[in-house]
Amino acid sequence: MNLLYEALNISKPYVYNYPEEFATFYVYLLFELGLCYNKLNRPEEALDLYKEAFLLSDDQNFMFILQGLGVSYLEAGNLEEAIRLFKEVLGILKPLFDKEPIQWLTHYVNTFIFLGSCYHELENYEEAISFYNEALNILKPYFESNPDRWIINYVNLLSGLAFTYLQLNNFQLAKKYFIEAKKLLENYPYTHNLPHLSNLYNFIKEQLKNLP
């Protein structure tokens, strides 16, 4: 983060005087710093950076900034505003995904997942499931044709669906999706080398142990 801030401070005097030359790079720095603050669970600081980037962004960066703002609002608990932004992002992404699906698949699917997370936090579990299922249906054919590339996204979705069904006391469907995710992780050779997948695998095993 220190290097990003150093680059930001060096660039700042130039970006407002020569925006055509420096704005894209400056927006990139703001966006990367925003991601860092979101990962540190400091969404308010991320919001300030995204708002500055929003004022400078061109058409290509606009969608990424909106998504970053949405994540910050989600983390800060401003769920209605996060939902509004994520739905706007979906509208921008849809034609991009239709034209170049592989390039935009991750962003497109993640936006559905973010919307599902918002509704999950609002305890509107049926709506959350609707968005998770939409994401799963989009991702599934790509996962089936290239599982190594998309396994992390796919098992995250399966476990998200399972956990949401758990909140509805639908233990049968919760178990179904947890078991599917567990089997995929058991057969994936790098599960225990990647902390996120290893933690997810242990979480799923614990959930299955407690299910009736």
| DSSP single-letter state for residue 190 | T
Burial of 107 (0-12, 13-18, 19+ CB in 10 A): middle
- Distance between CA 25 and CA 8 in Å, rounded? 9
Q: Which domain holds residue 172?
A: 80-212
**Residue-wise pLDDT tens digits, 90-138:** 988 888 899 999 989 998 999 999 999 999 999 999 999 999 999 999 9
State the pTM of this model. 0.74
We report the CATH number of the domain holding residue 31 as 1.25.40
Q: Kindly give the residue spans of alpha helices, DSSP state H, lying in 100-190.
A: 101-121, 125-145, 147-167, 171-187
Q: Are 73 and 79 in contact (CB under 8 A)?
A: yes
We report the CATH number of the domain holding residue 180 as 1.25.40.10
Last residue within a domain, chosen from 61, 76, 91:
76
For residue 10, is pLDDT > 70? no
pLDDT band of residue 54 (cuts 50, 70, 90) is low
Q: Are 196 and 163 in contact (CB under 8 A)?
A: no
Number of structural domains in the chain: 2
**Residue-wise pLDDT tens digits, 186-206:** 999 888 888 889 999 999 999
**The pLDDT value given to residue 41:** 73
Burial of 152 (0-12, 13-18, 19+ CB in 10 A): middle
Last residue within a domain, chosen from 76, 102, 122:
76
**The pLDDT value given to residue 105:** 94
- Distance between CA 59 and CA 153 in Å, rounded? 27
Last residue within a domain, chosen from 76, 96, 121:
76
Query: Do 67 and 145 lie in a common domain?
Result: no
CA distances from 39 to 2, 8, 43, 93, 107 (A): 15, 19, 9, 24, 17
